[in-house]
Chain A
Amino acid sequence: MATELQLTKRYGVKDSYTLKVSLETGGYASLPKLFAMTPEQVVEEVKASSLKGRGGAGFPTGMKWSFVPKNTGKPVYLVVNADESEPGTFTDRYLLANDPHLLLEGIICASFAIGCHTSYIYIRGEFKQQFDRLNDAIVEAKKAGYLGKNIQGSGFDLEVYVHRGAGAYICGEETGLLESLEGKKGQPRIKPPFPAVQGLFACPTIVNNVKTIASVPWIISNGAKSYASIGTQESPGTHIFGLSGHVNQTGYWELPFGMPMMDFINNYGKGVKGKLKAVIPGGSSCPILTAKECEDLTLTYESMKAHGTMFGTGCAIIMNEHTDMAEVLKNLTHFYADESCGQCTPCREGTAWEDRLMKKILAGEATAKDLDLMLETADNMEGKTICVFASALAMPVRSFIKKFREDFEKRLIKNTVSVPETVS
């Protein structure tokens, strides 16, 4: 039996983004159940569902919510991360455009759970259509008593505002995002304090991804047990998985966790154009996998981890045999060098170095020493920075060079090849 769609059921329905269609198709149906619970019960329910954050790190959502300190006298904020800028990732965009009311319903659930009365949606600047849709949806919801004071007679008040970014990848990092929301440059903050304790305007703040929040209404309506029975034990529920690159059909599909990667590529992506060479499984920051490694890979957090990579955003980039990994890595070093916020020396210098070295390699002016220098630079970038952006380049650099060394070596000045690392 096919699993019920939780996140994408209104996609393709005419005017799916309007309140009218939302209500006709079960929108906001979780609220009576929600308001019959206590906030603590909602947190427990989400904990019991084992829902993991979809923003990249996969942090358990219920647990994150439980970190909000009680009775500080300060307001609590919920901030929805709709910055979606991780290269290869494109599914929040459609959720925002197709079903803004599902997100609002999720925001109501999450805000009620953590005691928030003002929530901000931080949306990347390029999503102008989605920005307008969200604002329209908020106006509609407010008029109908789903937002504002005393929502549906529950006594619970909530205002939701959309805040538009303006082009900076680093604003997807949650503390960079909070800085940006405060009207500053989006430079990540040193942690601790973590946002749950001291976040937006120095108040307790929960930052969650769009799909994380949109997953909550189903959990409230159907219960944590039903949610946990979908997918695998460590990766419960459904997710919107994406495919880009060298497949016959690119796109996105909502599926339960657990499908083998090759089935996903073959059945949904209609197979690889040519022969499979490599997969970046969840956005450009995830270590790359060889075709062989994908043979027994499944679309779960645990399988990705067991293969030395990360689930990330669940949007995979597929590359065929004709792909030159040196060219692809140059593309990534350029991206990270360009997008580093510049606060930390190892990141600012390291990303620039990696990019310069890749340029040298592509120009055919590099020696084996330069390849070693790239790996050394990657090591020096990690663990010494304010945020994990630097690691997000270090990991690809290491995995590309380790797994596809021949693509780099053939561009080196001859007779300088060092002994290759063993490829497992």
Chain B
Amino acid sequence: MAVQFEQKTIDEFEGIAKRYPVRRAALLPALWLAQREFGWISEEAMVCVAKLVGVSPMQVMEVAGFYTMYQKNKPGKYHLQVCQTIACLLAGSEEIKKTIERVLDLKPGQTTPDGQFSYQTVECLASCHTAPCMQVNDDYHENLTPESTEKLIAELRKK
């Protein structure tokens, strides 16, 4: 079944579209709305966004593909995004990656079979002074150690 925006999302979008002299400029906001509503950006969601913004599905696909935060696969309930850039490397991000990979038996880009956790490596999260760090969904977790990482995963599991 094709996905569809709720009316109140459409209204919200129309409000956002008015901020720009050109409707196409509201494409990134539309993709954010789609991700919020559908959980990820499937091809169906892209078609839906294309209709809403008034551009071709190809154009949406191209743009959605360019930006890493638009999830082209369904992420887990908790999406772990571990920074692997320079300051985090110096502070031990390799250990954090190993911990996640061991505890959840995941490789970057994978999701646990129960759909609870997905895992991805990302580039500098602008939290280099509290390295190593990761984002879980929208929240930052900083000054990580292998122990605190394991504890965090255990807590999320219980939620």
Q: Does A89 contact B (CB under 8 A)?
A: yes
Q: Does A165 contact B (CB under 8 A)?
A: yes
- Give chain A nearest CB distance to B73 CB in angstroms: 15
Q: Does A161 contact B (CB under 8 A)?
A: yes
Q: Per a CB cutoff under 8 Å, which of B22, B62, B123, B130 touches A169?
A: B123
| Neighbouring A residues of B154 by C-beta, 8 Å | none
A86, A89, A166 — most chain B CB neighbours (10 Å): A166
Known: A183-B26, A183-B27, A251-B129. A332 touches B68 (CB 8 A): no
Q: Does A8 contact B (CB under 8 A)?
A: no
Query: Across the interface, do B126 and A84 meet the contact criterion of CB distance under 8 Å?
Result: yes
Q: Does A107 contact B (CB under 8 A)?
A: no
Query: Across the interface, do A331 and B89 meet the contact criterion of CB distance under 8 Å?
Result: yes
A370–B66 alpha-carbon span in the complex (Å)? 32
- Give chain B nearest CB distance to A167 CB in angstroms: 4
Query: Across the interface, do B135 and A126 meet the contact criterion of CB distance under 8 Å?
Result: yes
Known: A201-B21, A245-B90, A335-B123. A87 touches B63 (CB 8 A): no
| Neighbouring A residues of B122 by C-beta, 8 Å | 167
| Neighbouring A residues of B86 by C-beta, 8 Å | 87-88, 280, 284, 317, 328, 331-332, 335
A245–B27 alpha-carbon span in the complex (Å)? 38
Query: Across the interface, do B129 and A242 meet the contact criterion of CB distance under 8 Å?
Result: yes
Q: Does A243 contact B (CB under 8 A)?
A: yes
| Neighbouring A residues of B68 by C-beta, 8 Å | 166-168
| Neighbouring B residues of A184 by C-beta, 8 Å | 24, 27, 63
B61-97: CB near A (< 8 Å → 1, else 0) gives 0110011111000000000000011110111000000
Query: Across the interface, do B128 and A166 meet the contact criterion of CB distance under 8 Å?
Result: no
Q: Does A152 contact B (CB under 8 A)?
A: no
A89–B81 alpha-carbon span in the complex (Å)? 18
Q: How many residues of A contact B (CB 8 A)?
A: 55
A259–B22 alpha-carbon span in the complex (Å)? 47
| Neighbouring A residues of B8 by C-beta, 8 Å | none
In the A-B complex, the 6 residue pairs with the closest CB atoms: A183-B27, A166-B67, A167-B69, A167-B68, A250-B129, A244-B128
> B: which residues have CB within 8 A of A?
19-22, 24-29, 31-32, 53, 55, 62-63, 66-70, 84-87, 89-91, 122-131, 135, 138
- Can you name 18 A-B residue pairings with CB atoms under 8 Å? A87-B85, A88-B87, A125-B69, A126-B126, A129-B138, A159-B19, A164-B28, A164-B29, A169-B123, A183-B63, A185-B66, A244-B87, A250-B130, A250-B131, A317-B90, A317-B128, A327-B89, A338-B123
> A: which residues have CB within 8 A of B?
75, 84-90, 92-93, 118, 124-129, 159, 161, 163-169, 180-186, 201, 242-246, 250-252, 280, 284, 315, 317, 319, 323, 327-328, 331-332, 335, 338-339
Sample of 9 more A-B contacts, CB < 8 Å, known A87-B86, A164-B32, A244-B91: A75-B21, A85-B123, A92-B126, A126-B125, A129-B138, A243-B129, A244-B87, A250-B128, A335-B85
